[in-house]
Structure 1
């Protein structure tokens, strides 16, 4: 693992571990702000709990687990995607700058909104980072290319040996051997 990954992943994950722990400990502080985002989602997805506080806790738990995994470099791509998925509703619920009346409050919420968008970008980059190893897609394409190449070589080899064998068989048949 490179030094940048070893330092950068825990730095990126730290905000989610801290925020997730806060949501786990006291979801009642966040639940009122999350309500406008939670209601439409729970109405459409029956598998989710109806309580806003439970969803805030679930969101916090995913952030803590994903942040810890990302910070330690365990399943970092999956962890980054999981944390990114939690960041979208968190941002939409917590930093609705377009609804703020006070100009200074609006400016503060816009800054936090853009900070979260920036963190989302970092998480997406982390989710795409293969750690200098080839991605599964590249490995699959490379293996398919190798198989096509090998099949082509086998085909040429069979054609190259089949013609002389057929000729030799024809000569043997004419000679009666």
Structure 2
């Protein structure tokens, strides 16, 4: 594994571990901000809890778990996807710069919104990073190609040996027994 991955993954994950811990410990602090985003999501996804506070706590738990896994380099692609999935509603709930009236507040929220978009980009890159190993898709295609090649070799071998074998069999049948 490269030094960049060893250093980069924990750096990317750190914000999620800290923010997730805050959401798990004190969900009431962000529940009012999360309500307008969480409500439409919970109406569409039946598996999620009904109370916004519980959804915030669940999202924080996912961020802590996935952040720790990403930081340790365990299941990094899946962890990055899980973090990306929690980052989108978190960003939409917490950094609604378009609703801010004060120009200074609007500028700060826009900066935080763009920062989260940048982190989302990093997570998407991490989710696609195979660590210099072939992806599952490439491995599947490569295995299928090898199987087709092996099947063609078997087919050629069978054809090449079938005619002589049939001729020998025919001669044996004609010989007195």
User: For residue 138 of structure 1, what is the aligned residue in structure 2?
Assistant: 138
Deviation at 1:108, TM superposition (A): 1.3
Secondary structure of 2:101 counterpart: coil
1:124 aligns with 2:121: no
| CA positional deviation for 1:176 | 4.9
Answering whether residue 36 of structure 2 is matched by residue 36 of structure 1, we say yes
For residue 131 of structure 1, give the secondary structure of its aligned residue in structure 2.
Answer: coil
User: Following superposition of structure 1 onto structure 2, how do residues 84-103 of structure 1 map, counting pairs within 5 Å?
Assistant: 84-103=84-103
1:1-177 map, 5 Å: 1-174=1-174, 176=176
Q: Over residues 79-123 of structure 1, what are the superposed CA-to-partner deviations in whole Å (9 max), with x where a residue is unaligned?
A: 111111100100000111111122221111111111111101111
- Give the RMSD, CA atoms, in angstroms: 1.4
- How many pairs align? 177
- Give structure 2 stretches of 5+ with no counterpart: none
What is the rounded CA distance, in whole Å, between the counterparts of 1:39 and 1:68 in structure 2? 28
Counterpart-to-counterpart distance in 2, 1:149 and 1:141 = 12
TM-score (normalizing by structure 2): 0.94
Could you state the TM-score of these two structures normalised by the residue count of structure 1? 0.94
**Which residues of structure 1 form unaligned runs of 5+?**
none
